[in-house]
Structure 1
Amino acid sequence: MATKIPVTKYFRPFVPPLPPGTKISNDLYWDVYIYRPLCRLWERVGVYLYNRVINRFEIGVRDKAYNARIHGPYCPWRYYGTKKDTKLMDVKLCDLPAWFSRRDKSIGGIANAAVKSFYRFEHYYFDHYLINLPRFFLRFVLFGYLLGIILFYDEIPASVAEYHW
């Protein structure tokens, strides 16, 4: 077998070296010189993106005012600040710019507000000890809809929606 120069020579320093005396067969060649470096590259890109991009936005991080000794178990829908602000529906029109100026307008702040809103909705409407009617009704309707599509998929005529795009 002639000496081959690997295509991924640039990525070779990231891969741990092979034990001395290892003979490279054709199968091992693909594994050593192509699959391993590309997998390692994919892993390093993911770590880089998490550390340098995603982690900087502080998405999903607990509130800075949260203290486990004071507040107990962490609830993602609860506000842990020292002073509660007025609700948007209670703000007068003249105070609206000041109310918006107190909000966190960074990407992380917007994402954390969306996550907090989702958890608040989930807690109020779906997260109860006993089953409640909205959750039961929503699951029943979605299950029936999906079951109807699965069972009658072949019988749904395409000509009905031919010109309705």
Structure 2
Amino acid sequence: MSQKIKFYLATLYLTVLFYIVFFLSERINTDFKGIINWIPFHKVIYFFKDPDSYESVKLLSFLIELFGNIVLLMPFSFALKQLFNKQYVLKKFLSIVLFTSVFIEFIQYLFNIGVADIDDVILNTVGGFVGYLITRSQTNIFPTYITKNNLRGYKDLKQ
């Protein structure tokens, strides 16, 4: 896949991410605007304490929210790599993901869009970590064709 296509895919991902986080109608039309949930996994604990209180629709919504937050930031590593042409070390990348997730939650709280939730920060960071591992393993499994011009970059990547 050409670098130009990868760049466009990364840009498309970040645009969709921005739309989902700030403009998706479900996030705007909620009864819980302007609330911060500081208790980690409060909804998960509540669900397992009283699973009968959840209808099947609420269960589906709960699972989508739980796993959706993980999946939402999985492509983030790919996007950063394509846009900035740089492979970040894990510690720095997780710091970027954590900062991005906290920033998103802060903006949601500031503009009354959905609920600012510590769970989202935790799950987004987990998703970013999984995406980082996938991106790194893809790089190790499918290294670029080595030529004299890109040999230095390949050596740096293998370290």
Q: TM-score range by the shorter chain?
A: under 0.3
Higher relative contact order (CA 8 A, sep 6+): 2
Q: TM-score, normalised by structure 1?
A: 0.25
Structure with a larger share of its residues in helix: 2
Higher Rg of the two aligned structures: 1
